[in-house]
Structure 1
Amino acid sequence: MTATIETLVAEQLATYFENQTMTPTLTELKAELTADLNEAALDQVQAGRTPAAAVATAFADFGDIETVITQVEAENGPTTTEVEPPVMTVNENGVYVNGGRTLKADANGVSIGDGAVKADRNGLKLGKLVMNEDGISYGDQTKEMPDWQSTVAPFNLGLAYQDNLRLANEQRFSAIELTMLTVSYRSARVKVLPTNDDSDDVIIREYMQPNNPAYYAHCSETGTNLTVTQGKVPFLIPLRVHVQVLVPASFTGDVTVASKSGTVLIAGLSSVKTLALKVASGNAELADLTVQTTTVDLASGSLKMGHVQVTDQCRLLVRSGRVRLAQVSAITFTVKATSGSVTGNDLIGAGDWQAHSGALRLAWQQLTGDLNLDAHSGAIKVSLPATASYRYELESHSGRITTPTRAIRDRVADGYQTGTVGANAQYQIHGRAHSSSIKLS
């Protein structure tokens, strides 16, 4: 039976490659297709189909093989473009490419294309466009910076269920006794959403192209834990996977999501105890959530949170990328961005905020505790309600400090200021900017 399957797959697959120049890449692709189609056809035989019907179903489910071949050729084909190698000089003063005309990076900043693009202590210059903390200018025309306190439109949960790929796989598991849900994907677009019916099941829906049972998720139940792990990811075959993990409203356990490459959306959940998200590369969005504790670890990409209520701790670590929050509340925030800016609007809470390479721009609706702010190479801008009352201690190593006009200043020195705003100051704001300015308003 296996030999018959292999023969039928080989004969049908050969028709797709008969007019191709078999490069090493296409040879490897053909071998990978052969293995995957054989495996899919054998699954069909075990389901009761004849060998011929099983092979036909495997090819039909897989999709357009000619498109796969064309895409792999385009992505891995040889290139005939010859580029003259640049002349690079590296010394104690900096890095120079083609005598500094192409690239110059030294203590004064970075210049590309004889200064067409330039970044230094005066801001960022793109041709005639200049952006710095004073605003945006183009030639002789100057405009103020965009309003970073602008409101965010409500999240449309209904659109999140729509998908442009064909549904390939659906699995259901009872959530009645479930306490832990773990989702792990290597390369996919992952959405964790509430069930849109009265079901008490966790539903796994995988939309994919091409379609092969070998690519389906592996799901396992151990005690009260459910683990969902992505199936096989082919080496050359361009696979697109969109997964929806639907969680019933009755689920009050913990959710952990891990993604190696791809986007992640978690939205609409209101009873989850602990939410943990880890993304190696890709963008993540949390929207319309109520959780007890949230932990996000994002290695490369951006993080967006909107309309999120955390009743205890909110811990966010983004190593490379922007953090944008809108209408987010937590008892305590612990936010750290290694490379990228942090922007927050309509915030409620307190805690520690740190940006190593980027600015901190935070607009607070309500301050409920002490606030510690640290920006290593960017500005700190904090906006609080006019009725807010607090003490502050601000330190800027190489920039100016601006505080509200109603502030009572206790001590003012070069790059240092303490004082009080309001008559009933309960909380302390401590801000430190190592190489830029601080503004409280």
Structure 2
Amino acid sequence: MTTMPLPDALDAPPSPTAPSPPSERWSVGRWAARIGRFLAYGFLALVLGAIGFSLVLGLLSAGASTVIVWVGLPILMLAVLVARGFAMAERAVQSSFLGTDLPTPAPVRAPAGAGRTRRLLTPLTDPQNWLDSLWVLVNFLLSLITFPLALAWTVGAFATLGGPIATLVLDNVLPSSSNDGLGTLLGVPEPFTLPAEMAMQFGVGLLFLLTLGPVVRGLTALHQGVARGLLSSRHQEQQRLVRTEQSRAAGRSAESAALRRLERDLHDGPQQRLVRASMDLARVEALAARDPEKAQTVLRETREQLGLTLDDLRRLSRGIAPPILVDRGLAAALTELAAISPLPTAVECPELDLPEHVEIGIYYVVSEALTNAAKHSGAGRVLVEVARVGDDARVRIEDDGRGGAEVRTGGGLAGLAGRVASLEGRFTVTSPAEAGTRVEAVIPCAS
């Protein structure tokens, strides 16, 4: 199988048709491990946060107060570098304890030829360094709340069994203290004071126990969200920019290759036939007076050549959106492609509200795939399916031919891959030997 998304698979979104990973069954061991990991993370985050908060806040304050005399610039630079170090530690800690993937954004680089001072001060121009500094301050304040809360909730959960046992032990060791319990304060009659107090302790502990899991999950999500927003949001923006630039480059490359192929096909086909037709017409002019029958024969041959030229031009125009696509929609245009295909072709294309550029992309994929199938597959039938999957449009072309198709540089499938990549889509060719070929393209409607 050959898969060609964008030129580089940078954080490519998962295919909407791919099966989701199976969810893990709940178990006491995983539940306890999740709570233990968050408590360990919370304690470590609190310790590192206290150190980072003190260092970064102190350096920022000192640098900001002395920046007017230039002494503060090196101090500020040291502050952001220290913050970057603590941010890197947070990425490692969250990855180890919470399983969070926090990719590091690419740093701002000094331009080529920049002087030494410019290079030294470049960290101060990197927005991510200031986001790291903000995260150091915010995360410490957040840890001051979340870790004690998670610890208190965990301790409260142990009261489910620990509270009643402790009360029973104290009642047996210090009987005189039984009159000072919660049951007495609530006015419970004397014979029922101890059971009522144990029941209330068990109920409160049970409430903590049942809500401990959701509370820990919520606190984990809170830390992950804050870290992702401050430490990795620029990485996602950078990847989107890279994908956009690569998509444009792929589009330019695909269009250039298509134009070169069109030029070659026009030169090797219609242009040669038109040159021959022109020469034949010149012969007809010379033969018209002295040999009319021969002139008629040459005219018939010329008419045949012009008919073949028209067929060539129709074939070459299939990669360009025809008027029927604009006038009658994608389903009608694909039906026309199926009708003129040399192979029996069935089309399943419901009426879909798709952007124009997506419809043109699908039309191009189907046109080229049918041409390749007719030339190389030896298939007896072809099926074309178009569907809307969430925010994406999916087109699938399957045949029952000999298989073995590959995406080769300069080939028709490579051109399709480039065209789909220019639309920020994903292109897949599955073609096992003697088992047919499936060409699939998934194009985002918002590309």
Q: Shorter-chain TM-score: what band?
A: under 0.3
Q: Which has the larger radius of gyration?
A: 2
Query: Which structure dedicates a bigger proportion of its chain to strand?
Result: 1
TM-score w.r.t. length of structure 2: 0.19
Query: Which structure dedicates a bigger proportion of its chain to helix?
Result: 2
Q: Which is bigger in relative contact order (C-alpha 8 A, separation at least 6)?
A: 2
